A = this chain, B = another copy of it.
Amino acid sequence: MPFNKIVLSEKDIPKKWYNLAADLPGPMQPPLGPDGKSLKPEMLGRIFPMNIIEQEVSTRRWIDIPEEVLRMLCLWRPAPLRRALALEKFLKTPARIYYKDESVSPAGSHKPNSAVAQAWYNKKFGIRRVTTETGAGQWGSALAFACSLIGLECKVYMVRISFDQKPLRKTMMQIWGAKCVASPSRDTESGRRILKEMPHTPGSLGIAISEAVEDALSDPKRRSRYTLGSVLNHVLLHQTIIGLEAKKQLKLAGEKKADIIIGCAGGGSNFAGLSFPFICDKIHGKKIEIIPVEPTACPTLTKGPFAYDFGDTAGLTPLLAMYTLGHGFVPEPIHAGGLRYHGMAPLVSQAAKKGLISPRSYDQVKCYGSAMLWARTEGSICAPETSHAIACVIDEAKKAKKEARQKVILFCYSGHGLMDLAGYDKFLSGNLKKYKLPAHKLRRSLESIRGLPEIK
């Protein structure tokens, strides 16, 4: 009987995170301050605690995972590596399809991997309260969960469109003791300004980040800090436990190597988490195709320029060197709220610039169709973000069939879709819309980066 899953025991959980910054060829473009000059780490001290800033700028290859963080991760980790036998059979593909199941965490996605680490470092540094933004609600839930375990106050700014589509996400965060408001909100200066300009905006991650940063900065006691669920180096670092576990498990499954690595990409965290340890192998000579998948409605890597831009809409963050659609970009209200971000993690962007990864974009209607096939073969209901990875997996499995090649495909099953069934409902009733970013909208949006410093 072929196995369905490879489970590691808790003692085999990786004890260190992998830092791609140690291996990426060529120097990274540094983040810039408001004056256009290289940012000094201490300038971030009002936004993040220093222990996290140290991780953010570190170029050490391996970074120890604190014992207490490991203990919390073991509430659900190591996550199973599963084989999609039923999908393989349905597609009649010679490919072997594996997926790392990150949906098993209490919050339902990979996000708690970084949330518990960030909450722990903040607590350790004496911080009492953290703020954040959330798109689909996955990150907000994860942080609420982590803060509940660790004992931190938590406030979440949730993108309006997602807040309205999924009112029970708020309940979920409240169960874990967090406060959640729709963004733009009346709680911040940035929120009020945007509501005045665009009273009916569906919101965006960029706007919600502005609000969360402003909120953290305005604590008169200076005991609040901001946390981010993706994009930054330390977040991607915490997620590499996904790929490190997967490597051990592939070996246990008897696979000598993976041929294709796939992950959906919004800010880049689950994609980086799975792929970075494999990008390391690629840098050192292994032949692997590595594919980040984004929505056609928000095609950062596939259509955006590599440029300096703000991480948020109001321009409160440092300037980051990344693929971007412009910080003024507000994507269409697709259901994959976690992929509605104008930028892309600098580490992922740099890997793309160096040709180490091969980005693709897919439309949400095709993605939901793939999610339906997945549910009816493999049994589980995936998050709308994850459906982007699955659509690509199916294409690659069909290609392997055409080429009659026994490829090993590995992807990140980043989360379940039980909190996002409204999108499925629309798909089933034929009311789901296709979205593709029109060239004129992209041009207009890119005006927001005109005048910013250029990448040398």
Contact = CB atoms under 8 A, between A and B. Distances in A.
A74 interface: yes
A452 B340 CA distance: 63
B75 A378 contact: yes
A195 interface: no
Interface centre among A171, A424, A428 (most CB of B within 10 A): A171
A379 interface: yes
A175 B379 contact: no
A172 B3 contact: no
Contacts of A376: 148-149, 175-177
A175 B4 contact: no
A106 B421 contact: no
Interface in A77-121: 86, 104, 106, 108
Interface string A402-421: 00000000000000001101
Interface stretch (A5-13, A41-49, A213-221): A5-13
A450 interface: no
A354 B74 CA distance: 41
A86 B149 contact: yes
Interface residues of A, number: 41
A9 B10 contact: no
A418 B418 contact: yes
B67 A379 contact: no
Nearest to A10: B3
A379 B424 CA distance: 27
Nearest to A73: B4
A381 interface: yes
A372 B4 contact: no
A208 to B, nearest CB: 22
A171 B106 contact: no
A90 to B, nearest CB: 11
Contact of A421 (B149, B168, B177, B424): B168
Interface string A139-167: 00000010011000000000000000000
A312 to B, nearest CB: 30
The number of times this chain is found in the oligomer is 2
Nearest to A380: B106
Contacts of A377: 149
Contacts of A10: 1, 3-5
Nearest to A74: B4
Contacts of A4: 10, 71, 74-75
A188 interface: no
Contacts of A28: none
Contacts of A74: 1, 3-5
A371 to B, nearest CB: 8
A422 B170 CA distance: 11
B75 A171 contact: no
A71 B10 CA distance: 25
A425 interface: yes
A175 B375 contact: yes
Interface string A168-190: 10011011110000000000000
Given A106-B381, A174-B428, 8 more contacts: A1-B70, A4-B74, A106-B380, A148-B379, A168-B422, A171-B428, A175-B372, A176-B375
8 contacts: A1-B70, A7-B9, A106-B379, A168-B425, A174-B424, A174-B425, A174-B428, A175-B381
